[in-house]
Amino acid sequence: MGHGKIRARLRSSLYTFSCTNAPKKSVEFDELQGPGFSRVVMCNQPLLYKYRNNSTSTTKYNALTFLPIALFEQFNRVANIYFLIAAILSVTPYGPYNPISAIAPLAFVVGLSMVKELLEDWQRMLQDWKVNMRPALVYNANGSFETQPWKKIKVGDVVKVEKDTFFPADLLLLSSNYDDGICYVETMNLDGETNLKVKRAMDVTLDLDNDASFQDFKATIKCEDPNPSLYTFVGNFEYDKKIYPIDPSQILLRDSKLRNTSYVYGVVIFTGHDTKVMQNSTRSPSKRSRIERKMDKIIYILFSVLVVVSLVSSSGFAYMTKYKMPDWWYLHAPDNKDLYNPDKPTVSGFYHLITALILYGYLIPISLYVSIEIVKVLQASFINQDMHMYHEETETPALARTSNLNEELGQVDTILSDKTGTLTCNQMDFLKCSIAGIPYGQGASEVEAAAVRKMSMDLDAEDFDHFSSEDSTYEEEVELETVVTSNDQDHKRRIKGFSFEDNRLTSRCWWKLPNPDVHFLFFRVLAVCQTAIPEENHETGEYNYEAESPDEGAFLVAAREFGFEFIKRTQGSVTVREADPSSPEPVERDFKILNILEFTSKRKRMTVIVRDDKEEIFLFCKGADTIIFDRLSDKGRTYEKATTKHLNDYGEGGLRTLVFAYKKLDEDEYRSWNSEFQKAKNSVSSDRDDVLEDLSDKMERELILVGASAVEDKLQQGVPQCIDSLAQAGLKIWVLTGDKMETAINIGFSCSLLRQGMHQICISTKDMLANESVQNTKSDILMQITDGSRMMKEETDPDAAYALIIDGKALTYALDEELKTQFLKLAVACASVICCRVSPKQKALVVRLVKEGTGKTTLAIGDGANDVGMIQEADIGIGISGVEGMQAVMSSDFAIAQFRYLERLLVVHGHWFYKRIAQMICYFFYKNIAFGLTLFYYEICTAFSGNSVYDDWYMILYNVAVTSLPVMSLGVLEQDVSSEICLEFPALYQQGPKNLFFGWYRIIGWMCNGVYTSVVIFCLTIFIFSDPPYRSEGQTPDMSIVGATMFTCIVCAVNTQIALLLSHFTWIQHCFIWGSIVVWFSFLIIYGVILPETSTGSYQVFTETLAPTPLFWMTILLVVMASVIPYFIHASLLRSFQPEDHHIIQEIKYLKKDVLDRRMWRRERRKGRHTAKIGFSARVDAKIRQLKGRIQKKGAHLAPQEML
């Protein structure tokens, strides 16, 4: 290989010297040999250079590294280290018990966690394998393209990529099916943008456009080394002894998709992990939930308790050894190992400290981690299995990619959402239009309809108890919510991008309407004023359109449906098949495109100047209403008033509006303008753009208004309802989008994050003047922020809601160290926050700001690679699966197919998980404290000698067998209220963010309960089983009897306690709880019958000595009752004086009040929602206020129905 490299270098240097006339833009040879530019790709000779192959791996381990790395990770946990040391020490003579009892649980726990790791890694491997095995067409030596898996692709291979498939590696585009070598690429996976990008091949390679032409294709590419920058590429292409520079527009990146182009040929430059997209991927940070972090603190507390107890114990021991043990002749002290040496009490005490630290290890629940892990895996499987989160169309179930964060789902405070692909489908639907002052398009705004309905219901409720109509309104309310979903489903069956319903226009008889000529022009503007490419669908004969913006697509579809089908675009003309009143058949008309004045965000309008078949010159213009209205001629304002009214209506409905206008041009007028325009266009002066701008502006005047359109940026199914419920659950929703501010605001309206009457605080940089200093801008933004804050402070109306809209540039400053606290304060106070034009990095920064600034749990949801940063940064990252891009999903913690499933994920699963895990951990500490402390108490009775009253096996069993399953059933199956109720009362969710179930009060309470239980168990058993004979046969209790009794008491008490804690008993809980007690007794029996050498003291302890003894059973009953009474009292008092919401709802359900008193139930259901300032309901409420206000103003008591 070294040899080959030298040769290649030689040759290439020769070429370079010979090619003195190489294009001057080509990168200097020296530069390409320097560090960072060492890659040489021999096209079509993949074997000459060996770079990494194209297989990718995202696994954490491989066969060799698994054991060491996984073990290392396991022992990274403090508790596990402790148990490891304990296990090692237990082999020494200091161990208080059998080494097996220390090693076995540890091995079990660590083994189980490692198996889990292994399984997860296996999943990852399978996923990698799937990607690596994707087929690609690779040119082989035989001169044909054959299918090979992705992983076999090598640098230098020539590959053929077909339409709608992914590029397998980073490629240099050679040619496409288009003559000019262009191809369209969708880079959604890379940057989240859904519009197509055009890539263009170099001219020299254009003739390599069929399979056969690669026979003799040889070329060399010298270029940069792998790097993560997506938008740059430096390299030279050496072909036919000439050197051509490569620019980024010729590079096709892995994981982007070929669209709209039947095939392309390309040479592989980077493979596998060298590709830009892989270089960009970061290993997702490991996230830990809030609860788990707190749990660590508790474990540290317990550690300190452990150390204190051990110190007490060993100083006691040292004291006893020094002062008492010399008198205890029966101990034969000192021994020869200094374990018991009265002369060296400190040494003995030290040894004993080790013993004690191991012995009291039961205070630290060794099985806690593993139990939590098992529980979480099972919980995660509930997410994966939930049929309500399964998306039928894309066949995607929800997927918990990590189970670490389950309970975090129940504590989310702020949701930061991407827009495109997450909230919206990135599809525009033509919904309404206004032509010649006449509105078309049926279907009243849903908000309005709902407001009227709800208001009438409220009036009913206020005026008189409304008879049976109650049920009908109730149904209606439900119906309203379903209507939306069913509607959406209907749309699917219709035409994509067209949800217009109005027979007057769709029946294609528009010429019977008044002002047919205006209609005619409107349609023509729709069809002609655009830059899209038509594509014939050969099956249906219909045309689909590839447009730069989805709006345009919707317009063309609409035009097609109205009878103006755009069928062909050539370099200089557009062909439209127009319906014509004068002929039964549509007429094909060519329009010569004379000029296109493109749409920019600054101009906010687009104009085409065409010459029609009658040689007349028209200017067609579409644009934002304010812009167009300014440019109307006096006689063109006929419909302005009516149109404005319609536009307002549309805007309120969250629709995106554009206004259409035209003007007819004289030949001369046009010609003089055009010559000027062309001249300006070809000039190279610095003010060229300004001149062009001025010229366009001059042309786009004196327009005549024809109408306006309203397009819906189609939301994903159920998004408004979901946002509504989430808002009612008290969650804050921020939208972070790369879109323009207007689009973002539109979406804000359509998903009810914004509404009419909401105060919008827009923060943006003033039209950036180049000379404006950073400091000025900063202070300007600070002023905007403080203005906003002041405005909010002075607000007196409780119903007033504020929305903050900030654009990317302003955000750069707002995220600055100096401004960010003020910005955050303002943002948090606003009901909704929309950040537009933000870069992926800014998204992550915003998430970090919220996360760190508020200290609350954040959730980021997105679908594209541009959301990866924020998904990884947030406490919980959620990826939208089901769409093709996988980047977001791969970096997410949970993947759901649709935004709307977020509601169920949080409000149902999150709520349950949070409570389950919180209760589970509390109980875990309780049970281990209850057990561990009895060991300590007994120590005191044994002169701190480190002896335990229990058999070793009992102690092993405690965490593994007799208490683990019930607590796991708690963690997996507990439900305070059913899923329906969780959804009906979103306010219940607030228990999580408020952390009602894992506050220190509760944790300490449970610990105290554990201490109490341990005292009760120990004292009662010891007092009862002290010196007197304990049965009628006269025998006195010995250690094994006391131990077995005490242990039985613990098992029963702890299991009874969990039975009291549960509020949801399925047969599984019953089985586990009562089964645990049964298991314990069966163990005692079985252990008692095996060889006496192994069981020693416990031999037949149950059958012979305990079972026939009434005192034994009485003790158990007494101890169990005595130990649960405080909890019982506490729970009863809490329920009667400070019932929590779920208590009340449980009671309502229990007494079937929801069925008996439906009015109350419905009322509570309505109120049981966090009063939100955003969301559909809030919008309805606002509308009601508005309507009521209007009624009062009119002073007439009009029925609301009549109002409309």
Partner 1 sequence: MNSDGTSSTSGATGSGDSATPRRNSKRPKYSKFTQQELPACKPILTPGWVISSFLLVCIVFIPIGLASLFASRSVVEIVDRYETACIPGGFRKDKVKYIQSDSNKTCRRNLTVNKDMKPPIYVYYQLDNFYQNHRRYVKSRSDPQLKSKSKENETNDCKPEATINGKAILPCGLIAWSLFNDTYSFSRSSQKLQVNKKDISWKSDREHKFGKDVFPKNFQNRTVKGGATLNASIPLSQQEDLIVWMRTAALPTFRKLYGKIEVELKKGDVIQVTLENNYNTYSFNGKKKLVLSTTKWIGGKNDFIGIAYLTVGGLCFLLAMSFTIIYYVKPRRLGDPTYLSWNRNPGGGANN
* Site for partner 1, residues 474 to 513, rule: CB under 8 A: 478, 481-482, 485-486
* 238 three-class SS: strand
Q: Decide: is 946 part of the binding site for partner 1 (CB under 8 A).
A: yes
Is the Cβ of residue 511 or residue 1065 nearer to partner 1 in the bound state? 1065
Task: Tell me if 344 is assigned to a ligand binding site.
Answer: no
CA distance 487 to 32: 59
For the sheet with 605-611, list strands across it. 438-440, 424-435, 704-715, 656-665, 617-623, 605-611, 583-597, 573-580, 564-569
The tokens for 623 are 């644009």
Closest listed residue to residue 46, CA positions, set 131, 164, 156, 135: 156
Task: Tell me if 737 is assigned to a ligand binding site.
Answer: yes
Partners of residue 734 on adjacent β-strands: 416, 833
Is the Cβ of residue 111 or residue 1139 nearer to partner 1 in the bound state? 1139
Question: Could you tell me the CA-to-CA distances from 24 to 176, 541, 709, 785, 1193 in Å, in that order?
Answer: 26, 48, 50, 50, 76
Binding track, positions 779-818, relative to partner 1; x by CB under 8 A: -------------------x--------------------
Which one of residues 1067, 1193, 1195, 1197 is an interface residue with partner 1 (CB under 8 A)? 1067
Are 1068 and 1083 a contacting pair, CB within 8 Å? no
* 172 three-class SS: strand
Q: Decide: is 1111 part of the binding site for partner 1 (CB under 8 A).
A: yes
Q: Which of 418, 551, 713, 724 is catalytic?
A: 418
Site for partner 1 in 32-51 (CB under 8 A): none
Task: Tell me if 976 is assigned to a ligand binding site.
Answer: no
Known catalytic residue at 179: no
Judged by CB under 8 A, the stretch of 105-113, 196-204, 900-908, 1185-1193 that binds partner 1 is: 900-908
CA distance 182 to 198: 6
Task: Tell me if 739 is assigned to a ligand binding site.
Answer: yes
Judged by CB under 8 A, the stretch of 391-399, 529-537, 810-818, 884-892 that binds partner 1 is: 391-399
Count the site residues for partner 1 by CB under 8 A. Answer: 137
Task: Tell me if 724 is assigned to a ligand binding site.
Answer: no
Task: Tell me if 837 is assigned to a ligand binding site.
Answer: yes
Exposed, middle or buried: residue 460 (CB in 10 Å: 0-12, 13-18, 19+)?
A: middle
Are 609 and 665 a contacting pair, CB within 8 Å? yes
CA atoms within 13 A on the CB side of 264: 34
577-606 b/e (C-beta count within 10 Å ≥ 16 → b): bbbeeeeeebeebbbebbbebebeeebbbb
Is the Cβ of residue 16 or residue 975 nearer to partner 1 in the bound state? 975
Locate all alpha helices (DSSP H) within 145-281, ordered by sequence. 188-191, 276-280
Is the Cβ of residue 382 or residue 662 nearer to partner 1 in the bound state? 382
Is the Cβ of residue 806 or residue 861 nearer to partner 1 in the bound state? 861
CA distance 39 to 1109: 86
Q: Decide: is 615 part of the binding site for partner 1 (CB under 8 A).
A: no
Task: Tell me if 355 is assigned to a ligand binding site.
Answer: no
Question: Could you tell me the CA-to-CA distances from 442 to 237, 430, 490, 526, 876 in Å, in that order?
Answer: 58, 12, 15, 20, 41
Closest listed residue to residue 1077, CA positions, set 1057, 1106, 1100: 1057
Is the Cβ of residue 837 or residue 904 nearer to partner 1 in the bound state? 904
What is the DSSP code (8-state) at residue 703?
B
Which one of residues 377, 987, 1011, 1107 is an interface residue with partner 1 (CB under 8 A)? 987
Task: Tell me if 418 is assigned to a ligand binding site.
Answer: yes
Task: Tell me if 843 is assigned to a ligand binding site.
Answer: yes
Are 1142 and 977 a contacting pair, CB within 8 Å? yes
Q: Decide: is 634 part of the binding site for partner 1 (CB under 8 A).
A: no
What is the DSSP code (8-state) at residue 634?
G
Judged by CB under 8 A, the stretch of 700-708, 858-866, 929-937, 1090-1098 that binds partner 1 is: 1090-1098
Task: Tell me if 622 is assigned to a ligand binding site.
Answer: yes
CA R_g for the chain? 38
Pairing of strands 802-807, 759-763: parallel
What is the DSSP code (8-state) at residue 1035?
P
CA distance 379 to 377: 5
CA distance 883 to 396: 9
Site for partner 1 in 950-979 (CB under 8 A): 973, 975, 979
- In the complex, the smallest distance separating the C-beta of residue 262 from partner 1, rounded to whole angstroms, is 28
Beta carbons within 8 Å of 118's beta carbon, 6+ residues apart: 61, 66, 70
Is the Cβ of residue 399 or residue 850 nearer to partner 1 in the bound state? 399
Q: What are phi and psi of 374, to 5 degrees?
A: -60, -45
Query: Beta-carbon neighbour count of residue 300 at 10 Å?
Result: 12
Q: Decide: is 1072 part of the binding site for partner 1 (CB under 8 A).
A: no
Partners of residue 834 on adjacent β-strands: 735, 805
Judged by CB under 8 A, the stretch of 213-221, 555-563, 743-751, 981-989 that binds partner 1 is: 981-989
* 395 three-class SS: coil
- In the complex, the smallest distance separating the C-beta of residue 959 from partner 1, rounded to whole angstroms, is 23
Centroid of chain to Cα 956: 41
What is the DSSP code (8-state) at residue 637?
G
- In the complex, the smallest distance separating the C-beta of residue 912 from partner 1, rounded to whole angstroms, is 8
CA distance 173 to 157: 12
Q: Decide: is 1148 part of the binding site for partner 1 (CB under 8 A).
A: yes
Q: Decide: is 13 part of the binding site for partner 1 (CB under 8 A).
A: no
Which one of residues 67, 107, 126, 1151 is an interface residue with partner 1 (CB under 8 A)? 1151
- In the complex, the smallest distance separating the C-beta of residue 1103 from partner 1, rounded to whole angstroms, is 9
Site for partner 1 in 1117-1136 (CB under 8 A): 1117-1118, 1121-1122, 1125, 1128-1129, 1131-1133, 1135-1136
* 683 three-class SS: coil
Site for partner 1 in 123-162 (CB under 8 A): none
Is the Cβ of residue 329 or residue 1001 nearer to partner 1 in the bound state? 329
* 744 three-class SS: helix
Q: Decide: is 1026 part of the binding site for partner 1 (CB under 8 A).
A: yes
Site for partner 1 in 725-744 (CB under 8 A): 725
Judged by CB under 8 A, the stretch of 196-204, 223-231, 529-537, 1060-1068 that binds partner 1 is: 1060-1068
Which one of residues 30, 179, 216, 462 is an interface residue with partner 1 (CB under 8 A)? 462
Q: Decide: is 91 part of the binding site for partner 1 (CB under 8 A).
A: no
Is the Cβ of residue 399 or residue 665 nearer to partner 1 in the bound state? 399
Task: Give, in degrees to the nearest 5, the angle at Cα 301 between 300 and 306.
Answer: 95
Site for partner 1 in 309-328 (CB under 8 A): 324, 327-328
Binding track, positions 704-723, relative to partner 1; x by CB under 8 A: --------------x--xx-
Q: Decide: is 456 part of the binding site for partner 1 (CB under 8 A).
A: no
Which one of residues 116, 466, 1064, 1185 is an interface residue with partner 1 (CB under 8 A)? 1064
Site for partner 1 in 1156-1185 (CB under 8 A): 1160, 1163-1164, 1166-1171
CA distance 645 to 647: 5
- In the complex, the smallest distance separating the C-beta of residue 97 from partner 1, rounded to whole angstroms, is 10
Judged by CB under 8 A, the stretch of 206-214, 249-257, 386-394, 594-602 that binds partner 1 is: 386-394
- In the complex, the smallest distance separating the C-beta of residue 931 from partner 1, rounded to whole angstroms, is 17
Site for partner 1 in 901-930 (CB under 8 A): 903-904, 912
Are 900 and 716 a contacting pair, CB within 8 Å? yes
Q: Decide: is 373 part of the binding site for partner 1 (CB under 8 A).
A: no
Q: Decide: is 381 part of the binding site for partner 1 (CB under 8 A).
A: yes
- Residues at the binding site for Mg(2+) are 418, 420, 863, 867
- Residues at the binding site for ATP are 418-420, 552, 599, 622, 656, 737-739, 837, 843, 866-867
Catalytic residues, by residue number, are 418
- Residues at the binding site are 418-420, 552, 599, 622, 656, 737-739, 837, 843, 863, 866-867
